[in-house]
């Protein structure tokens, strides 16, 4: 199982400005290796044991972070994946992403009280129950989700990115373990708008948990939402990387200064969509 942290900059919602860039960062490690990476980075940069939010840091720290990350990351089996795209491209790519997710026939636009929603479903929610000491019996019931359009579209973008990264990491891991057939992920994202039981979070859980049955990934993706990410090392690392990439975009730098790392142990890739995908 890989443990994963997730961060988004500026947020998981569209702002209504087509040129606004959105960045999502995923940090993965098999165990607690990213804890050691974060400790080394923090001590190297600020003589402390923890990273704080990027927005709280001064320019001197920010100027050194990319170099420090390039130096420390190869020491640990930590994978960092990032994607950046402006809103207009995310919107233009929605149909393509829904098709690749197998959702093209399960999403419909809905207008309620002059507000635009996307309705997802109906899906089959499987519930199991143990009766009289017998083996669990499974039952299915239809489930649908309505999410505001300005939240649903970036959520599709995030889910599409995560599932592709699962698919791309498998060959890297199989170089070291040729017998590997599946890999589980335990993702720990921050709260989505609307809270842990809100429409956005509920749909995210459904799409991630259903990805195995849909044949999109070899393994299970489980979600454990962080109610307070301030003390989580993985979340802090993802936040700092997202902040770094957002600053680079603002300066017109669409690539990392150091060569991209790709390997069985540590790896880092930044994907930038600068034209309609597909």
| Span 72-104, pLDDT tens digits | 999 999 999 999 999 999 999 999 999 999 999
Is the separation of the CB atoms in 143 and 178 below 8 Å? no
Please give the share of the chain, as a percent, with pLDDT higher than 90.
51
Confidence band, pLDDT 50/70/90 cuts, at residue 277:
very low
Enumerate residues 6+ apart whose C-beta is below 8 A from 81.
25, 26, 28, 161, 165, 268, 269, 271
pLDDT at 213 over 80: no
Over residues 117-138, the pLDDT tens digits come to 999 988 876 655 555 556 555 5
Q: Cα–Cα distance between 261 and 98 in angstroms, integer? A: 30
State the pLDDT at residue 133.
58
Write the CB contacts of 242 (distance below 8 Å, at least 6 apart in sequence).
7, 8, 9, 23, 24, 25, 54, 82
> Does residue 239 surpass a pLDDT of 90?
yes
Mean pLDDT calculated for residue range 213-227: 84
Q: What pLDDT is recorded for position 126?
A: 61
| Superfamily of segment(s) 2-272 | Ribonuclease H-like superfamily/Ribonuclease H (3.30.420.10)
Distance between CA atoms of residues 222 and 207, nearest Å: 11
Cα 183 from Cα 172, distance rounded (Å) = 12
pLDDT digits (tens, 9 = 90+) for 27-63: 999 877 888 999 999 999 887 878 888 988 788 888 8
Answer yes or no: are the C-beta atoms of 188 and 232 closer than 8 Å. Answer: yes
pLDDT of residue 209: 87
């Amino acid at each position: 199982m890989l443990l994963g942290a997730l961060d988004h900059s500026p947020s998981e919602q569209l702002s209504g400005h087509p040129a606004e860039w959105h960045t999502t960062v995923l940090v993965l490690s098999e165990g607690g290796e990213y804890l050691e990476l974060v400790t080394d980075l923090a001590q190297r940069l600020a003589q402390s044991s923890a990273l704080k939010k990027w927005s709280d840091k001064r320019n001197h720290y920010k100027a050194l972070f990319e170099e420090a990350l390039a130096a420390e990351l190869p020491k640990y089996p930590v994978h960092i994946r990032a994607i950046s795209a402006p809103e207009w491209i995310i919107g233009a790519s929605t149909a393509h992403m829904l098709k690749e997710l197998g959702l093209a026939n399960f999403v419909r636009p809905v207008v309620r009280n002059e507000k635009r929603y996307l309705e997802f479903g109906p899906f089959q929610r499987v519930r199991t129950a143990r009766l009289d000491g017998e083996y669990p019996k499974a039952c299915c019931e239809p489930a649908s989700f309505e999410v505001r359009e300005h939240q649903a579209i970036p959520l599709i973008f995030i889910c599409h990115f995560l599932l592709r990264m699962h698919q791309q990491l498998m060959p890297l891991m199989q170089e070291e373990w040729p017998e590997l057939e599946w890999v589980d992920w335990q993702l720990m994202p921050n709260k989505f708008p609307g809270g842990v039981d809100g429409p956005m979070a509920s749909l995210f859980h459904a799409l991630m948990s259903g990805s195995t049955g849909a044949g999109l990934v070899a393994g299970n993706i489980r979600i454990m939402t962080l109610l307070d990410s301030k003390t989580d090392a993985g979340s802090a690392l993802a936040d700092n990387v997202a902040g770094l990439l957002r600053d680079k975009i603002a300066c017109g730098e669409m690539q990392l200064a150091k060569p991209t790392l790709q390997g069985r142990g540590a790896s880092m890739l930044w994907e930038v969509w600068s034209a309609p995908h597909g």
